[in-house]
Amino acid sequence: MWTNSAYFLIVRVRLQGQRNFRFPIPLRVVDEWFEALADLIRIGETALRFVPIPHEPASKRHMNWIRTLYPSRIIRTANILLKDLSHHKGLDVVDVDTGDVQVKIHLR
């Protein structure tokens, strides 16, 4: 059965007056990296539960942000989003042109 899903995340960097660089990254590697990163962050979130909240206002705001937002869930959501986008082969995820440098990330 034919599927139109992507297997690589292609990162292309063009520098004016320089050679072009193209990096193919397998989506399985990106998926595993996101999962490992989310697991490491989850361990940090669990460890932070046992750290008392400091009394300085700036530190208190920072600790409350980490405890209420759950960064591991943000990473897992990004991973799910990338998996859903991988079903659209040929999609340009990022296309930035700043005169001297052009960066393009697409699914292939």
Q: Is residue 68 part of a domain?
A: yes
Distance separating alpha carbons of residues 70 and 26, to the nearest angstrom: 27
Report the chain's mean pLDDT, rounded to a whole number: 86
pLDDT tens-digit profile of 39-85?
999 999 888 888 887 788 877 777 777 777 888 999 999 999 988 88
Residue 2 has pLDDT above 60, yes or no: no
In a domain, 3, yes or no: no
Q: What is the number of structural domains in the chain?
A: 1
Q: Is residue 1 part of a domain?
A: no
Query: Using CA atoms, how far apart are residues 4 and 81, in angstroms rounded to an integer?
Result: 17
Which of 28, 42, 4, 24 has the alpha carbon at shortest distance from 82? 28
Beta-carbon contacts of 94 under 8 Å, excluding residues fewer than 6 positions away, are 103, 104, 105
What range defines the domain where residue 52 resides? 8-107
Q: How confident is the model at residue 37 (pLDDT cuts 50, 70, 90)?
A: very high
- CA 98 to chain CA centroid, Å, is 22
